[in-house]
Structure formats: structure tokens, C-alpha cells
Structure 1
Amino acid sequence: MSKLVAKIGDKEITQDDVVKFIEEIGPQVAMQFQSEDGIKAIVKEMVNQELLLLDAKKNKLDQDEEFLRVLEETKDSLLKNYAFTKVIGNLEVSEDEIKKVFEENKDVFAKDTIDASHILVDSKEKAEEIKKEIEEGKNFEDAAREYSTCPSKDAGGALGEFGRGQMVKEFEEAAFALEEKQISKPVKTQFGYHIIRLNKKNSKAETELKDVYNEVRAEALRLKQQQAYLEKIDELNKEYKPEIVDDNLYK
């Protein structure tokens, strides 16, 4: 049983109630209350709200004409959302449907990726010296093994394939701006100075379903839900035959 936190008349507030309240106010707001004093403030606010409820019931505010009107509007709004959920809520998509959406929309889901290597050092001057050595004929992989402070030095600086959003901003912008086999000027990031070599640009056409599976599945489900909704609306239009009298509100 959940721990009792507060009691107002017959109303009990438990630890589970507090957790639910925090979840409902959203993560950004909740972050402000992640302390002992913050939790106490939340419990106090929950008590305050229950006091308002008790007072509202005592003064029969639930019988006010304005309240009943708002209540009816709220019920209708909730019922609309609930009806929509009933139409789309139990839909699932098959693997074949996911593959079909991917094949028909490859350009939409495709993501540019690159294969790059780098050499990481502590100063711009050192990076410029190393770049000059490479331009004069030193092998990039050998230079990485000799000078780089990144663990990738053991692989000759190779970072493998990556897409946008996987590296720090400055590194990403510099790497994606390079042409194949081109070596960058020293690029400063929070880790130091990088000399980047672009090994290969992978075209969007090379993107595989497994790389974007969750996005494709979400889109396939959205399309299926949309189709179910439109079919239901079409059915209801035939049944109720609604009439739009005038939809020009600005004439």
C-alpha cells in the first residue's frame, strides 16, 4: 500500500498520488521540484487544491449554471477525443506494411552519412604542424597513431560511419562540408583540435530500413490511423448527411 502523505477530511493523499501529480505537470516543470523542499511544496499545493474542492462542494459551486455549461462542453470534448481513440487505438502495422511505406518513401527517410577519420591534439599549432606533414606525404593513419590523443588512434583515426547529430556540432559541420579524401583545417571542439579526413560520403539511396525502422513504423502507423479515421468519417457522413450552410466567415 502506498505511503500516506496527507489527509484532508476523508480525502487521503498518498505517495503514488504525489508521483502522478509530478508526472502530469511535465518533466521541465517537475525538474524545479526535485528536492526535499520541492516535494514539500508539491504536497502543500495538492492539499491547497483539495481545500478548494471541499469549499466548492460546500458552497454548491458544482450546481452553478456556468459550471454546468463548462462541464457539458468538457464532457463533449473528452468524448470526441475518446471516440477518435476508439477508431485508431487498436491499430497495428505489419512488417509488410512497414516495408511498403519505406520503399515508397525512401527519399523521405534517407539520411546522409559519412565515413571519416580524425587526429585529435591539444593545440591549434600542433594540428597545423601535423596537417603540413600529411600534405608533404606523411600517411594519415600513421600520423593518427603517432600524434592523436583519441582512442581511435589505434585504428589510424578511423571513426567509421556516422550521421548528423552523432558528433559535436563543430565537428559535424566541418566533416559534412568536406569532399571525399579532403582533409580539414584544424577544427576546435570541447575536446581539442581535430584534423578530419572524409573517407566516404554515403548517398541517401544507401539508407537501409533497419537504420530508420522506428521512424518508418511510426509513419506507417500514422498513415493507417489516418485511413481508418477517414473511412469512419465517410461512413458517418453517409449516415447523418451533415450540411454546411456557410463556411465563409470573412465575407
Structure 2
Amino acid sequence: MSKRLTFLSAAALSLTLMLPAQAEDAPGVDTVLATVDGVEITLGHVIQTRQTLPPQYQQLPADVLFPGILDQLIQQSVLSASVEGEPKSVALAVENQRRSLMANLAIDAILATAVTNEKLQAEYDAAYGNVEAGQEYNAAHILVETEEKAKELVAEARGGADFAELAKAHSTGPSGPNGGSLGWFGAGMMVPPFEAATFALEVGAISEPVQTQFGWHVIKLNETRAIAAPSLDEVRGELEATVQQKAVEAQVLAMTAAANVDRSGAEGIDPAVLDQLSLDAE
């Protein structure tokens, strides 16, 4: 072999030794990070623990979480080993937790295929297909204590006085400093006498004095606009949630009906037993 080939072979070997470990040596969920009296704590245990942390803790850097979670698992292992036997409450909690986790996986599978364009459209049509266009009103008012004062203000407003300035000067309501502006509102948002008077006005008109439990109002209707049902895209999130909920409920009912469920063991049990039994009582 030539000296040149020998040199190249040695260089290749050197580079190989400098490369990162092969994929099969990369850490996996079964990689053992620590043992406590022979009990293994794996990388999978650390990852699963991180996933159960509150969101504010999950956002911490990995170099902070990793040693902290590992220390916690080691300490839990030491503490749990100090307990003789496994209490019934722990065994039952583990069973319930496993049941819950597996049920959540089943629900995730249902949700993954629950929403389709056809189902969204059907839900939209059912919710909004028959909704008639409504009306919204933009109005201002002046609130005073007596009918006499209200009549005076009606005369001034109809005579050409600036309504907003009248409201600022005379209204006792919280909208007074804003010129009496109430913004946009629809049916059911104001007390009935106020609504009835407003809805009867032409745009730009000033009402006669209107009495409510708050006092006497002088109302000016500024503008109206038609309101239609929202578009599908505007309520897509709401519709998706409804479709998903219905899909889960339907699937759960169907699966429960198909299962061999025997509730006979619960017959004759007094519900008060929930408050009377201790799981770990001898």
C-alpha cells in the first residue's frame, strides 16, 4: 500500500472517530437516566412529566427543566420506596388514570375526523338558516329628572340646538359627557319604553319625553342599519366546537350501547356510601 493511501486511511479513521454517535446510540424514551435502588428512571419518564406541567412551567428552557424534573423523579422514587406495600387508594388511582388517558386517546381519534365542510355547513344552516335580518339603532339621549325639563329640551333640540351640546349641559346620565351617545344597540338591549320610542323614530328625529325607571329621556335617532346572520367563517370556531361535541357524544353513546354493560352490582347501593367508606381502611 502506498504511503498516500495509508495516510488517507488514517485520516478517514480520524474523521470517523470525530463524528457524532450513530443514530442507534441517540437517546430514546427508554434511555435510563438514573436508578434508585435498582428502579430505573428513563428519559420517557422525564418527557411525560414535562408534558403534565402547567403551561407556564413547560415554557422554561430545557436545560432548566431537565435536571429539575430528574431530581423530582429521584426524590419521588426515594419517598415512594419508603412506603410499605401499595395502598388501595394508589392502585385505584393508577387504574382510573390509565382509564382516563386511554379514553382521551379515543376522543382524540374521534375529533381528528369529526369536522368536515359538509357537517359545518349543515350546522350553520341549522343555526342560522332561518335567522331573519334584524335592525340596529344608533341613538343619543338626554336624561333629566322631570317631564317639564324634558319638554324644554325637546323644543330646543327641534328648534335647531345642537343635541350633543344639550346633552353635555343637561343630561344626568353617564353618557352626558359624550354628548348623550349610546352607540349601536338592538332589540332587547334597552328598557322597553326607551326601545319602543327609539324604534318608532325616523332617522334624525327627536322623540317626545319618554319616562323610564331612570327618569325622563329625550332621544335622537342618528342612524339605523340592517344586521344579517354572521357568515360561516365568522362563526367557524363555534361551529367546529359544536360539531366535535356532537360527534363525541354520538360515538360514546353508540359504543356504550354496543358494549356489554352490567350495572347490576350498583343496584341497592346507597349513594351515601361515598361519604362513609375509606379506601385504605383496614
TM range (shorter): 0.3 to 0.5
More helix by share: 1
Structure (1 or 2) with the larger CA radius of gyration:
2
